[in-house]
Amino acid sequence: MSEIATFGAGCFWGIEAAFQQVPGVIETAVGYSGGETTNPTYKDVCTDETGHAEVVQVTFDPSKVSYEQLLDVFWKVHDPTQVNRQGPDFGSQYRTAIFFHSPEQEAAAKKSREALEASGKLKRLIATEITPAGTFYRAEEYHQKYLQKRGVASCHF
């Protein structure tokens, strides 16, 4: 039986590529979540007016990889202290976000964020929002597995 996790951590291409490397991840899809516009396009989301974040939806086998392990990957692949930006990309669509699908995911995400804050590894406060998962709108096909299709291992993060 599989589960779904949804993360926003800047440009979705690099985040998707990172999660594709995790044993136990069955499938990834990039898209948009957390906004008000129905069926947004990439062009719509780039206006910074839809409220959506670029996200990766991760389908995983919890018998092979835990949600907590996915959270560890999430924290490592971006700067969670940045507000509405990652690297050269800026706008609310690049915000750091965890969209939880169950009370267990919510609790794990909050516990993980608190542990990272308490660790002293970061010089600023974590800006990551932890909110209920809403509708996931799959991005256009050319965005799916974008880096893999181009033979590139990672983005700028």
The single residue listed with the structure tokens 């906004």 is 35
Select from 66, 76, 50 the least CA-distant residue to 137: 50
Any catalytic annotation for residue 11?
Answer: yes
3-state secondary structure 90-121: ECHHHCEEEEECCHHHHHHHHHHHHHHHHHCC
Distance CA 2, CA 28 (A): 12
Q: Which of 5, 9, 11, 98 is catalytic?
A: 11
Query: Could you give the C-alpha distances from 71 to 7, 26, 105, 133, in angstroms and in order?
Result: 9, 16, 10, 15
Residues involved in catalysis: 11
